[in-house]
A and B are shown apart, each in its own frame.
Chain A
C-alpha cells in the first residue's frame, strides 16, 4: 500500500511523524502536502490563499463573463471536482500545468504581466470566493516603510547648506552629498529628502546623490533641518541617515540665533578641558546663525575662535591655561567684534 493512501485512510489527513525503531516520541501533526481532500476543495483553498491578485482576477472575470474559473482550473488539471487527491499531488499538477501553458503560449495578459491562463483563473476564483474581501495589492510607500539598517553609515558631507547657495564640500562637485559606508550599497536604493526621491550613484566605499535645483530651492523656503532617508523600494525598508540643515543666508542674518548647546561646561582649576592634540583646551558651541565677525569671550577675554557657519558650529582654542586657574564661575559669551553686540552662552564652572 502506498504511503499516501495509508495516511489518507488511516488518519484522515493527519500524518504520523516519528522516529519509530529508535523508540522516540510519536507526534501527531498535519503535513499539508499529504492532506487528502477533494480536488475542488484544494483548488478553492489555494485560490483563497492567494495574495494581491484581486486586480488580475477581476480582469479575467471581465474578459470571461460567463465562465466558471474554478471549473476551468479543474478541467485544465484533468480532475473532477469530487476526486480525492493529496494537496501535494494537486500542487504538483498545478505547477506542471502552469509551466506547460508558458511553453505553449497559453497566456493571459494583465497589466502587461504575461500570466499562465490557469493562474489567472485561480486569481478569478479568488475574487469569486472572497468577493469584497479579495486580496488587493498596493505599491509600497516610502512613508509607510518600517525602519531597518540598510547600510552601515560612517559619515556624510555636507550636512548643511546656506540659503541661496549650492551645497558644497571640499573634493565633491556642487550639490552632491556623499555618504561613506562600510560596503557598496546596491544601486536600487534611493535617498529621500523632503518628499523627493533621488537615485543614488553607488561606489565601492559609499554612494552619492545629486540634489536637484528644484529640491534645493524648496528646502531654502524653510530654514531648519530636513531628514535624509535611505529607502530600499524592493524590500520596502528605510533608514534615517541624518539631516540636511538649511541655514539662513549670511546676508539675512542679523545677530545671533539662540545657542543650541555648548560644552564643556566645567573643569578643575587649571586643568585642560576637551584637550586638543597641541594641548589646548577647547569649547564647542552649536548655534544656527551668528555674524561673520563673532568671537568667543571667557570672562570678557577674547579667545582664539573658529567659525563653521555651514555646520552651525563655533570652536575655540585656548592655550593660556591661566584663564581658568582660579575656581569660580566665568561667563562664556559670543561677541560680534564689529558691532560689539554680545550674547551669553552660559557660565563656565571652575571647581577647586
Chain B
C-alpha cells in the first residue's frame, strides 16, 4: 500500500509496526521488498511524495557548505525512489583492497571481508538490472583496444558496468502498492527519534502543513541517505548525553566523496576503447585503468581509476613526434591523445564531516552543515599515481603523459564529487571506532540500524549504489533471521 500520511493517519495518532524504515530510496525500498513476506509488518516512511518536491520541500535539504564547494541540492532527491530518480547507473563492486586495513590510510579497513558480501552483490546485480557481473575489461574488450597493463606495469584494466539506470519508483512502485505487509507513507518526514536506555521507542513524523504522527516499531532502520542519516542521529543528543551511536564521536565524521580530478592527457596507441561501449556479449562496459593492489601497497597509494577519452591532438607534442623510431616501441601504428579523468578514493578523515547548524528548517530540524575536506595525503597519492603513469607509459614504450594540472590549492577548489555520500556512520567492530556494528546496528542501541553508504568504512572508487543495495540485502537477511 502506498498512502499519503496526511490522510491515512490522523493528526496526533500513533501507528504500530514491526519495522519502521526511514527513507524510500534504493536502500529502504530494497530492504522493505526483501523483508516483505518474512513476517514483518513494515512502515516505509518517505519524506517526499511521488513527484519531485516543490520549492518548500526542496528547502528542507538546504545546508550550509563550509568546506570545499559542494552542490548539495543537486546531490540528492527527496521523493519516493530517492536519488535513484536521478542517478546515472554506473556500477561496480568495491575491490578487495577497499576492505583491507591499509596502514598508510588511517581509519581504513572494514570489519567485514569483501567475500561476505559476494552473494549479496550477486543479487544486487539482478535488482539493479545490470547485465553482466564481470568487471575484468580484458575479458570483454579487444586486447588492442586496451593498454597492455601487465603485472609489471603496476596498473590493470578494470571496468564499470551499468544499470539502465533503474528508477526504483517505476520499477517497484506497483509492487509496493500491492503489498499487504508493507505500508509506504508518503510526505512522512521523520524529525525525531525517541529512545530509552538504548532502545528506540518511537519516531516522530511531521509534514509541512503541520500534521504530526508517530510510528512505534520493534526495530527501526535509517535509510535516508548518507547526509540525512547522521543528521537524524545527531538530533538524538540530549542533556549533554551524546547522540545515539556517538559514544565514539564518529557520527557525521569521515564524510567521504569520490573526488574527480583531470590531471591532463596521455598519448598512447590509436583506437583505445575506454569509453562506454557494448562488449562482445552486447553488454554495456566502460573500461578504466586502475593501480594494482601491489603498487598501492608498495607506494602507499589510495585506490583510484583513470578514465580515458580520445581527444584532439596537441601541437606542443603531436602524435607524429612519438612516431620517431626508438621513442615508443610498443606504440603500434599511430598515436592518439586521450583526456584523463581520475575518480579517487579519499582517506576517511574525521575533520571532513557533517554537523548541525543552529538554524532550523520548516519542520523544526536543525539544518545540516557540510564541511567536506580532502587530506593532503590524498592529493599526494593522486599526484604520485600520475607520476607512476608517466613512468609506466614512457618506460615501456607505450606513450607519454601531459600532466597539465599538478595539484594546487586552486585545483582542489574545483574538485567535483560523484554525489556519493559515504562514511558518516562508519562501520566498526569496536564501538569506540565507529557508529554501526557489522550487522549495521547502531552501537549502543538494541533496535536501530542503518542502511546507507553512510556505513562505508572506506570508499574505494566504485560508485556506491551497488554496494548499498548489497548491504541492504545483507541487513534484510539479518533482520529476517532475528524475526524467525
Chain A contact residues, CB within 8 Å of chain B: 46, 49-53, 55-56, 90-95, 98-103, 105, 107, 110-116, 119, 122-123, 135, 137-140, 184, 186-188, 202, 204, 233-236
Contact = CB atoms under 8 A, between A and B. Distances in A.
Nearest to B267: A113
Contacts of B316: 55-56, 110-113, 137
B392 to A, nearest CB: 8
Given A99-B395, A137-B318, A114 B400 contact: yes
Nearest to A103: B395
Contacts of A187: 275-276, 309
Contact of B314 (A50, A111, A119, A202): A111
Contact of B315 (A107, A139, A234): A139
A52 B277 contact: no
Interface size class of B (residues with CB under 8 A): 35 or more
Contacts, number: 127
Given A110-B317, A116-B394, A91 B310 contact: no
Given A52-B321, A56-B321, A204-B278, A113 B315 contact: no
Given A112-B403, A115-B400, A184-B278, A53 B321 contact: yes
A95 B329 contact: yes
Interface string B307-340: 0011111111110110111111100000011000
Given A51-B323, A114-B400, A234 B311 contact: yes
Contacts of B327: 94-95, 98, 116, 119, 122
Nearest to A135: B320
A188 B311 contact: yes
B385 to A, nearest CB: 14
B320 A234 contact: no
Nearest to A188: B310
B4 to A, nearest CB: 31
B394 A46 contact: no
B391 interface: yes
A123 B318 CA distance: 12
Contact of A46 (B311, B325, B329): B325
A188 to B, nearest CB: 4
Contacts of B276: 187
B402 A140 contact: no
A122 B397 contact: no
Contact of B312 (A100, A110, A135, A140): A140
B391 A102 contact: yes
Interface in B395-447: 395-397, 400-404
Contacts of A137: 315-316, 318, 320-321
Contacts of A52: 315, 317-318, 320-321
Contacts of A107: 390
A186 B317 contact: no
Interface in B250-279: 264, 270, 275-278
B383 to A, nearest CB: 13
A56 B317 CA distance: 7
25 contacts: A49-B325, A50-B324, A51-B320, A52-B315, A53-B321, A55-B316, A55-B317, A91-B326, A98-B328, A98-B394, A99-B394, A101-B394, A110-B317, A113-B314, A113-B316, A113-B317, A113-B400, A115-B400, A119-B327, A122-B324, A122-B327, A186-B310, A187-B275, A188-B275, A188-B310
Contacts of B396: 99
Contact of B318 (A46, A51, A90): A51
B397 A46 contact: no
Given A55-B315, A234-B313, 20 more contacts: A46-B326, A49-B324, A52-B318, A53-B317, A91-B326, A92-B326, A95-B326, A102-B390, A103-B391, A111-B316, A112-B264, A112-B403, A112-B404, A119-B324, A138-B315, A186-B275, A202-B275, A204-B278, A233-B312, A235-B270
A272 B310 CA distance: 54
B274 to A, nearest CB: 10
A111 B341 CA distance: 19
B129 to A, nearest CB: 16
Nearest to A116: B394
B223 to A, nearest CB: 32
A206 to B, nearest CB: 14
Nearest to B325: A91
Nearest to A138: B315
Top 6 closest A-B pairs, CB basis?
A: A102-B394, A94-B326, A111-B316, A51-B320, A233-B312, A102-B395
A114 B311 contact: no
Interface string B272-310: 000111100000000000000000000000000000011
Contacts of A102: 390-391, 393-395
A234 B310 contact: yes
Given A56-B321, A113-B316, A184 B391 contact: no
A316 to B, nearest CB: 44
A277 to B, nearest CB: 35
Nearest to B396: A99
Contacts of A51: 318, 320-321, 323-324
Given A52-B320, A98-B394, A139-B314, A112 B402 contact: yes
Nearest to B275: A187
A99 B404 contact: no
Contacts of A91: 325-326
B309 A188 contact: yes
A137 B323 CA distance: 14
Nearest to B389: A114
B325 A140 contact: no
Nearest to B312: A233
A138 B316 CA distance: 8
A110 B277 CA distance: 34
A110 B395 CA distance: 18
A204 B278 CA distance: 8
Interface in B318-377: 318, 320-321, 323-329, 336-337
Contacts of A139: 312-315
Contacts of A90: 326
A113 B327 CA distance: 14
B424 to A, nearest CB: 34
Nearest to A100: B395
Contacts of A202: 275
B321 A98 contact: no
B144 to A, nearest CB: 15
Contacts of A56: 316-317, 321
A95 B397 contact: yes
A90 B325 CA distance: 10
A50 B318 CA distance: 11
Nearest to B320: A51
Nearest to A102: B394
Nearest to B273: A186
B7 to A, nearest CB: 35
Contacts of B395: 99-100, 102-103
B401 A114 contact: yes
B339 to A, nearest CB: 9
A233 B270 CA distance: 13
Contacts of A115: 317, 400
A122 B327 CA distance: 10
A111 B315 CA distance: 10
